[in-house]
Structure 1
Amino acid sequence: MKRRDFIQKNLIASTAVGLTGVGAYASKNVANEVLKNTFQLNYAPHIGMFKNHAGNDPIAELEFMADQGFTAFEDNGMKQRPLALQEQMAKTMGKRNLQMGVFVAHEIYWKEPNLTNGDETLREKFLSEIKASVEVAKRVNAKWMTVVPGHLDLRLSMGYQTANVVESLKRASAILEPHGLIMVLEPLNFRDHPGLFLTESPQAHEVCKAVDSPSCKILFDIYHQQIQEGNLIPNIDACWEEIAYFQIGDNPGRNEPTTGEINYKNVFKHIHSKGFDGIMGMEHGNSGEGKEGELAVIEAYKKSDAF
């Protein structure tokens, strides 16, 4: 499942009824089905992950997440949600002590270059989107936002492309730094997203070092990096000082931990042992359908977090 699919699917499912309370979730009823869990890391579900328990109301789903013991939440499409819904979701997160994770900060160019080619018009468009994202972050009490530098420019050498990307990110960092906000750069794998500029954690590390800003860090998506480079724990260690955020998904299938080849219990244990207290975004699908599939997701995290 690709990032674009997550955004489109979850927005369609939730925005239509987000302000009506239709299908609202009553926590006292679900408490009979699932005992509240205590997790060692801040795992963050997304809207749509528990829709069979909570209905299509984003507020009800936030309530369900909190009742299951989750302490964070992420929403790629938050920026596109109606203003009133953003405010309502922020209020609910505050009430239930849910920390807001990433949202996508800008339009991602999947098939043509924008930041790699140095085009000043496209750069200014990107920077204007970063400025708009500052207001969203303030509204929903977010600290992190996802940035993807877009497609390669096949007519330029990699060195020139890197310089162009670094310059854009330096200017974006200057916008974010006064607000204490962080854009997290996400390397994406070649199989799901062919032709993109940023693919590997060492490359992201190099870019962050060149930008040299507390507002430019790495989003280490374990699913993408298992496909792209493997060697997960050593690569996490090698770029640790630049990592600000993790995302999760097993491979193959991009579903919950325990459904693929990644030993998530060991990976989570290692991240926890290094003192990470940030967010672990659950950017994956459910391997099963209906309420049973949703309960299986929760159970998978209970097992993987038992280290």
Structure 2
Amino acid sequence: MERRGFIKKVGLGSTLLGVSGAMSMPSFAAGKAEPTFNMDFAPHFGMFRNSAPGGIVDELKFMADQGFRSLEDNGMLRRSEEEQALIGKTLESLGMRMGVFVIEGGDNWKVSLTTGRQEFIDTFVDTCKKSVEVAKRVGAKWMTVVPGYFERNLPMGVQTGNVIEAFKRGAEVLEPHGLVMVMEPLSDNPDLFLRHADQSYMICKGVDSPACKILYDIYHMQRNEGNLIATMEKTWEEIAYIQIGDNPGRKEPGTGEINYSNVFKYIHEKGFKGVMGMEHGNASPGVDGEKALIQAYRKVDVV
């Protein structure tokens, strides 16, 4: 991928200056940075590839100049240690924080914790341990987890118990480091075990650890159950991270049916100070599409 090739092109030495880690990068806003967003929206790499084509450092600088305060990167575990360190240093230099990356081991959907199989649990725990070291490099606190597919020869209660026991093992790894795995109900296909907020809430109560909370993805929840504000209200005490995407289409707010102005108003009034990941595509291509995306977030940002 182009963003990974950036490291080889510029090298750490030419990108970071001095022991302070000050960045040798031009301001994409030509010294006129845009106002900081009130809500902590977090873009991902590639979202502004046309406006900042130089690679991951340039993209981060562009995000900061546009008023974004966080980043999320699902595939962080697959990056080299050098690239992870570069991202961490750049975020620190820009005063940004790291959102989620995914705790993944093999095919996360098919290697299912619902089965109770020891080899799957061992892989999950080992990946949690690896994630602790990655979190240190990039300054992360939250990591996405998904339990995988239904195990159709087991009752739902048994599957739920198996997931709770597996997540307890993960929490034992993460909790001493102040890290939090956030489980994400998904809508991608009907074979997935975790689909609803109340189901996630029950698992959190079963795990009973500050290291196990809910990632409430508004796009997936609109597809699976709707009634967004009422559902968030019922499960709010276990929600630690929020992701965004309009429906249909999974693009920026204003491109689908979700009333994001009302949803964000509710989240703001609840006092949410966490990261809100922009886990969606751009509705329109090129630089103009990236400008339109930023303006869409300006329109729904809570003042």
TM superposition score category, shorter chain reference: over 0.9
Counterpart in the other structure of 2:208: 212
Distance 1:57 1:15, change over 3 A: same
Task: Tell me which amino acid in the other structure corresponds to 1:20.
Answer: K
Cα distance, 1:112–1:77 mapped onto 2, change above 3 Å: closer
- Aligned CA RMSD, in angstroms, stands at 1.8
Aligned-residue sequence identity (percent) comes to: 52
**Structure 1 unmatched runs, 5+:** 1-11
Alpha-carbon distance in structure 1 between the residues aligned to 2:285 and 2:26: 21
Closer, same or farther in 2 for the Cα pair 1:296/1:26, shift >3 Å? Answer: farther
Q: Separation in 2 of the partners of 1:207 and 1:34?
A: 47
Q: 2:291 maps to which residue?
A: 295
The offset of 1:110, in angstroms, is: 5.5
CA distance in 1: counterparts of 2:142 and 2:109, whole angstroms: 25
Aligned ranges 1:87-166 → 2 under 5 Å = 87-107=85-105, 109=107, 112-166=110-164
Aligned to 2:178: 180
Counterpart contact for 2:44–2:279, Cα < 8 Å: yes
Structure 2 counterpart of 1:39: 37
Unaligned 5+ runs, structure 2 = 16-23
Shift of 1:18: 3.4
CA contact (8 A) 1:102 1:145 kept: yes
Q: Deviations over 1:99-151 (max 9, x none)?
A: 10000012264553520011011111111011101100011110000000001
Report the alpha carbon displacement of residue 66 of structure 1 after superposing the two structures with TM.
0.5
Deviation at 1:20, TM superposition (A): 2.4
Contact 2:213 2:239 in 1 (8 A): yes
1:21–1:57 CA contact under 8 A, matched in 2: no
Letter in 2 for 1:263: N
Change (3 A) 1:263 1:18: farther
Quick one: structure 1 residues 81 and 56, their matched pair in 2 at CA, closer, same or farther if it must change by over 3 Å?
farther
Matched residue count: 292
Contact in 2 for aligned 1:19/1:85 (Cα 8 Å): no
Query: Is the CA contact 1:21–1:59 (under 8 Å) kept in the aligned structure 2?
Result: no
Normalised TM-score (structure 1):
0.91
SS at 1:286 equivalent: coil
TM-score normalised over the length of structure 2: 0.92
Give the structure 1 partner of residue 19 of structure 2: none
Deviation at 1:79, TM superposition (A): 1.0
Asked whether the 8 Å contact 1:150–1:196 carries over to 2, the reply is yes
Q: CA deviation at 1:94?
A: 0.1
Q: What is the CA deviation profile of residues 259-307 of structure 1, one whole-angstrom value per residue up to 9, with x for unaligned ones? A: 1000111111110111000000000000001000000110000001145
User: Do 1:13 and 1:48's aligned partners in 2 also have CA atoms closer than 8 Å?
Assistant: no
C-alpha distance in 1 between matches for 2:226 and 2:165: 29
Distance in structure 2 (CA, Å) of the matches to 1:108 and 1:297: 33
Give the Cα–Cα distance (whole angstroms) in 2 for the partners of residues 257 and 19 of structure 1.
35
AA aligned opposite 2:120: L
**Counterparts of 1:26 and 1:290, CA distance in 2:** 22
Q: 2-side partners of 1:231 and 1:249: how far apart? A: 16
Provide the rounded CA distance (Å) in 1 between the counterparts of 2:33 and 2:246: 25
Secondary structure of 1:145 counterpart: strand
1:304 aligns with 300
CA, structure 1 residues 195+73, in 2 after alignment: closer, same or farther (shift >3 Å)?
same
| Contact 2:175/2:210 (<8 A) preserved | yes
For 2:51 and 2:209, how far apart are their aligned partners in 1?
42
Contact 1:101/1:281, CA 8 A, preserved across alignment: yes
For 1:60 and 1:150, how far apart are their aligned partners in 2? 35
Q: What is the CA distance between 1:13 and its match in structure 2?
A: 3.4
Residue 221 of structure 1 contacts residue 248 of structure 1 at CA under 8 Å; is this kept in 2?
A: yes
AA aligned opposite 2:225: E
Which residue number in structure 2 is paired with residue 58 of structure 1?
Answer: 56
In the other structure, the counterpart of 2:282 is: 286
Match in the other structure for 1:14? 3
Residue deviations 1:170-220, cap 9 Å, x none? 01101111000000000001xx23301100001000100110000000000
